[in-house]
Chain A
Amino acid sequence: MARPKALVDMSQHYCPGCTHGIIHRLIAEAIDTLDIQDRTIGVASVGCSVFTYKYFDCDMQQAAHGRAPSAATGIKRVHPDTLVFTYQGDGDLAAIGTAEMLHAAIRGENITIIFVNNAIYGMTGGQMAPTTLVGQVTQTSPYGRQIETQGYPMKVSETLATIEGAAYIERVSVDSVKHIKAAKKAVEKAFRYQMEGKGFSLVELLSTCPTNWGLSPIEATDWLRENMLPHYPLGVYKDKGGEQA
């Protein structure tokens, strides 16, 4: 077990115990496994993962907040033989970028979205996200998220599964070794499907934000298990390739 080739050999800026780093590794391992490092183009978004473009050893583009799926659409259409993925947080994807994400799926764009759901805006200091859980305390929901005024947490994978253009949608988690192993398979499958021309794929990864959750990294993985897993059940929500098989 060594550092994947598709990851630059440098220290990343993420907070101690932040699971963004695990997700980076899984993506790089999938690129290595499929042997497509020279044909991969990633699109970084806005959020804590904004520097993603420095960390992957492949071509990278940085998109405006929420617009990564649109940038990826253009890149993929000009370079159809490449693997094009976006790396987006829940603030980026499920708030300001909802339209772009949804319409990329509706159009059935042959791209892969790596969606990191940590139930909060990390980079800007812990404000409520569309994915924040009911009752969860954040900077902008100091009494906990209230359904009456702030509505329900958005379930991205379930929503996208209803869209005809989506080929593969799975929700995984990186809170434990077992879940990380399953997450690795999901990322690899999404990339493989894209290379096979199967169409739009999204892998939602439940992730921690120890800093803005106000918890230690170990407490944060426990919090994810106890609070996020019941509301965001893991599993395959759509698998067009699987249906055909």
Chain B
Amino acid sequence: MAKVIFDEDRCKGCELCTTVCPKKIVVMAEDRINIKGFHPAQVIEQDKCIGCGFCAIICPDLVIEVENKGAKTCRKEC
């Protein structure tokens, strides 16, 4: 199962990670702001994550860590 972890207080709300997820499960948390004053990114429906790591690759602020233990690999871009 792949797991995506966000270091939320490092997030600058740039939204780049939301554009690359093949499963469209990375979205902005409109209900809260972090210590920097931004709406942080988050993953909804964690179980749909395929562990491709795209969200972590595009994040300029090293907010995202993807644990990919035995997850299916994505064949789209890698």
Chain A positions within 8 Å of B, measured between CB atoms, are 1-3, 7, 11-12, 14-22, 25, 176-178, 180-181, 210, 216-218, 221
- Interface pair B60/A19, CB less than 8 Å apart: yes
A180 contact from B13, B36, B58, B66, Cβ within 8 A: B58
Judge whether A1 and B12 touch: CB under 8 Å. no
| Number of B residues with CB within 8 Å of any CB on chain A | 24
- Give bound CA distance, A164 to B56, whole Å: 39
CB contacts under 8 Å to A, within B22-58, are 36, 38, 53-54, 56-58
Assess the A1–B16 pair: CB atoms within 8 A: no
Residue of B at shortest CB range from A11?
A: B10
Known: A2-B65, A18-B60, A218-B16. 17 other contacts (CB 8 A): A1-B53, A1-B57, A3-B62, A11-B10, A11-B36, A11-B61, A14-B60, A16-B12, A16-B13, A17-B14, A19-B60, A21-B62, A22-B60, A25-B62, A177-B58, A210-B14, A221-B16
Please report the C-alpha to C-alpha distance between residue A176 and residue B14 in the assembled complex, in whole angstroms: 14
Q: How far is the CB of B52 from chain A (nearest CB, A)?
A: 8
Name the distance in Å between B72's Cβ and chain A's nearest Cβ.
16
Total A-B residue contacts, Cβ distance less than 8 Å = 60
Q: Give the complex CA separation of A1 and B59 in angstroms.
A: 12
11 contacts between A and B (CB under 8 A): A1-B65, A11-B36, A21-B60, A176-B20, A176-B58, A177-B54, A177-B57, A217-B14, A217-B16, A218-B14, A218-B19
Please state if A218 and B58 are interface contacts (CB–CB under 8 Å). Answer: no
Chain B residues with CB under 8 A of A19: 60
- The residue of chain B having its C-beta at the shortest distance from the C-beta of A26 within the complex is B57
Contact assessment for B58 and A1 in the assembled complex, using a CB-CB cutoff below 8 Å? no
CB neighbours of B38 from chain A (8 A): 16
Most buried by B among A17, A20, A221: A17
In the complex, chain A residues whose CB is within 8 Å of the CB of B61: 11-12, 14, 21
